[in-house]
Amino acid sequence: MRSIYSITYGGRALREVLLTKMVKKAKKIVITSHQNSDVDAVLSCYVAKKIINKLNPRAIVSIITPGMNLQARKVAESLEIATEIVEGDDLPPYDLCLLVDVNNLAHIGALKDHVAKDKPVIIIDHHRPSSGMPSNAFSIIDDGAVATAEVICDILMNLNLKPTREEARCLLIGILSDSRRLMMGTEKTLRDVAFLLSHGASLPEAVTVLSMPMSYSEKIARLKASQRASLYSLGQWVVAVSSVGSHEASAARALIDLGADLAAVCNEVDGEVRLCARASEEFVKNTNVHLGEELEKLGSIMSGSGGGHASAACVTVPRRCSEVIDGFLTLVSSKLKLPTKKID
């Protein structure tokens, strides 16, 4: 049974009171996020640490991630905050743990074995609540937000804390990253952006930080995914599936940019497969398929873990690529009640 602290997005006054009490009570606090932490995850962790420093200056606060992706690492270095973030598979002793941009323990890799069941956990996230949430968690979740940086913005505003220019810049970059430069989002997203701009953030500067040249390996992965792609039809929808040795998320996005309505790209390493799926806005709007939900199901079926958003999600399972792709196609076909037909 979930503890009294386990409430979801809503009841704003109560959640901020509880957050403040928990932070002020703790002497040692650890912040972590999901495997292959992206820009939004890393920068949200960093600003969460700054908020904690304001609420409890005496607390010792550590950021430990199970690993950052290449873009997040480059952005952290560009912003000169990389030294604040440790990549590792162990957590130091703590009184309070924050899970940022993640609400499923299975998604934090080896770190999940170090999350104590008798210590409080705060979840700050924008993904739908999952079955893998720790039972001792107090959750601040807005699954309507385009980025966790938006949820951090809410916390700042509801605590009447003014972000520094550096903090505002980090949150703006996080929002731009997850919203694909504001191609996705809501009216609230724009209000949050305006709030951050009013505290010193700069749109041109944020875009520049994110606009790093694509690496050679990513270019090759995207092109190979296209070269190897198998095409299927689901009614009027075109589905592309492929495999690469790295950058599977970027490769899936490339297939969508080429014209697929739904794309899935897998990468097999050491007997484990990571499949990343992406969908066009039109596909999500007209089919009501939520990729995060479907890949969470697939992870459960195949003894792994998965999740994400309506149009972008990933799953990691101890299977072969062909099995995972077949499972993905079967789930989507069943959801749409349409047969999968190979396109020659």
CA 282 to mean position of chain CA atoms: 22
Which band of pLDDT confidence, cut at 50, 70 and 90, is reported for residue 129?
Answer: confident
The SS3 assignment for 85 reads: strand
Structure tokens of 138? 């107090």
Cα-based distances in Å from 38 to 61, 71, 164 = 20, 7, 22
Rounded to whole angstroms, the maximal C-alpha distance in the chain is 64
Per the document, the length of the chain is: 344
CB distance 106 to 132 below 8 Å: yes
The predicted structure's pLDDT at residue 7: 41
Tally of CA atoms within 13 A in the half-sphere of 32 that contains its CB: 31
Tokens of 328: 């993905």
What share of the chain has pLDDT > 90, as a percent?
Answer: 83
pLDDT over 80 (residue 13): no
The one-letter amino acid code at 178 reads D
Record the pTM.
0.83
Q: Give the angle subtended at the CA of 89 by the CAs of 15 and 86, to the nearest 5°.
A: 70
Report residue 344's pLDDT band, with 50, 70 and 90 as the boundaries. confident
Q: Does residue 5 register a pLDDT over 70? A: no
The whole-angstrom separation of Cα 275 and Cα 269 is: 11
The confidence band for 17, taking pLDDT boundaries of 50, 70 and 90, is confident
3-state SS assignment for residue 60? strand
CB count, 10 Å around CB of 210?
17
Listing DSSP states for 108-130 in one string gives GGGGGGGS-TTS-EEEEESSPP-
Select from 216, 262, 224 the least CA-distant residue to 241: 262
What pLDDT is attached to residue 269? 87
Confidence class for position 1, pLDDT limits 50, 70, 90: very low
For β-strands 96-100 and 28-32, DSSP reports them as parallel
Could you tell me the pLDDT band of residue 111, with boundaries at 50, 70 and 90?
Answer: very high
pLDDT the model gives residue 131: 79
- Mean pLDDT across the stretch 57-81? 95
137-141: strand order across its sheet: 85-87, 60-65, 28-32, 96-100, 121-125, 137-141
Report the C-alpha gap between 116 and 8 in whole angstroms.
21
Indicate the SS3 state at residue 240: strand
Kindly state the tokens that stand for 65.
Answer: 């991630």
Better-predicted residue by pLDDT, 269 or 224: 224
Structure tokens at 173: 């970059």
Strands (E), 145-236: 230-234
What is the pLDDT, as a whole number, of residue 270?
A: 85
Please measure the distance between the N-terminal and C-terminal CA atoms of the chain and give it in whole angstroms.
52
Tell whether the model's pLDDT for residue 241 goes beyond 50.
Answer: yes
Does 2 have pLDDT greater than 50? no
Spatial CB neighbours of 311, under 8 Å, sequence gap ≥ 6:
184, 278, 279, 280, 281, 283, 284, 291
Q: Report whether pLDDT(8) > 50.
A: no
pLDDT at 259: 98
Model pLDDT, residue 124: 96
Round the average pLDDT of the chain to a whole number and report it: 92
Under the banding of pLDDT at 50, 70 and 90, the label for residue 224 is very high
- Beta-strand pair 121-125/96-100: parallel
Local confidence band at 4 (pLDDT 50, 70, 90 cut-offs)? very low
Structural domains in the chain? 12-210 (3.90.1640.10), 219-343 (3.10.310.40)
Band (3; pLDDT cuts 50, 70, 90): very low
Per-residue pLDDT of 292-340, as tens digits, reads: 999 999 999 999 999 988 999 999 999 999 999 999 999 999 999 999 9
Distance separating alpha carbons of residues 66 and 256, to the nearest angstrom: 28
Strand partners, 267: 274
* Mean pLDDT score, 263-292: 95
